[in-house]
Amino acid sequence: MAKPLVIVTRRLPDVIETRMMELFDCRLNLDDKPMSQAELLEAVKTAEILVPTVTDRIDAAILSQAGPKLRLIASFGTGVDHIDLKTARQRGITVTNTPGVLTEDTADMTMALLLAVPRRLAEGVRLVRSGEWGGWSPTGMLGHRIWGKRLGIIGMGRIGQAVARRARGFGLSIHYHNRRRVAEEVEQELEATYWESLDQMLARMDMVSVNCPHTPATFHLLSARRLKLMRPDAYIVNTSRGEVIDENALARLLASGELAGAGLDVFEHEPAINPKLLKLDNVVLLPHMGSATIEGRIAMGEKVIINIKTFVDGHTPPDRVLEAMF
């Protein structure tokens, strides 16, 4: 059988690209620059299998131009908000993702931010590098301990549960809001309290972690109104998607002291960063690196290869996406 034509939109780990070249008729992106709209259009017109990443917007306009041979979009990433799933289904195009392999990496980064923000780590680094640090003092760089505080997790899927397990080790009590309540044994393991009302949970938490996917239902889930429900001494961390939070409202509340601080690994219009956030000292800003480990990226690539091979062999891929859920 002829090898399927696979077009990859970005550079992947060398070991993954090498294996793809062995298995498929593969076109790689050697420059690692995001494809333009025109290049994406050309890719969907000619590819049998497209391997995009979470920054490639595969919307209805792109999919409407897809050639008759395109039957699989094997996305390199967990989130699928960049793909118009409805249009893909209408055109008979299967969509897969790479769930599970990034859980521990993203949970690690979430925990790092939950520690870094209240303990003012980024401010401390800037002070040392500025050359203005005058040495230890009893009142210097005072932050807040997290032991004994309440953590509210928005989205209790794989990553949310992994965050909860870590947070318990740091003495945080676990609360969560989810579209569906998790199994009783999971609640018991995590000693987690379920809140059907997100509003009620937000008003009572010391720290909030956003771990839900971006869907139409979660766009600006943390709106200006909801953010104002949080206490002025509360902290918020987002390692999910920037669109879940009203970024302008968040910046205003942080600047006015109505929120104590934030740790953000994702942004509403990334790679553009809201200039209001850049001016604030009580925010830790990271370049969407929550899942950026060598081990994680290789595991993602291996899942992409398995999904493609399974599909080409005439079977349902293990990571077929049916719907985006929160």
* Residues marked as catalytic: 241, 270, 288
- C-alpha 310/C-alpha 293 separation (Å) is 26
Which secondary-structure segment (H or E) carries 192?
strand 192-194
Determine the residue type at 119.
R
Which of helix, strand or coil describes residue 177? strand
- C-alpha 237/C-alpha 244 separation (Å) is 12
Tokens of 246: 């009203």
Question: 221: Cβ–Cβ under 8 A, 6 or more apart, which residues?
Answer: 154, 198, 212, 244, 245
- C-alpha 205/C-alpha 135 separation (Å) is 34
- C-alpha 4/C-alpha 26 separation (Å) is 8
- C-alpha 7/C-alpha 28 separation (Å) is 6
- C-alpha 125/C-alpha 109 separation (Å) is 18
List C-alpha distances in Å: 15 to 29, 128, 297, 305.
15, 39, 10, 12
* 284 bridge partner residues: 263
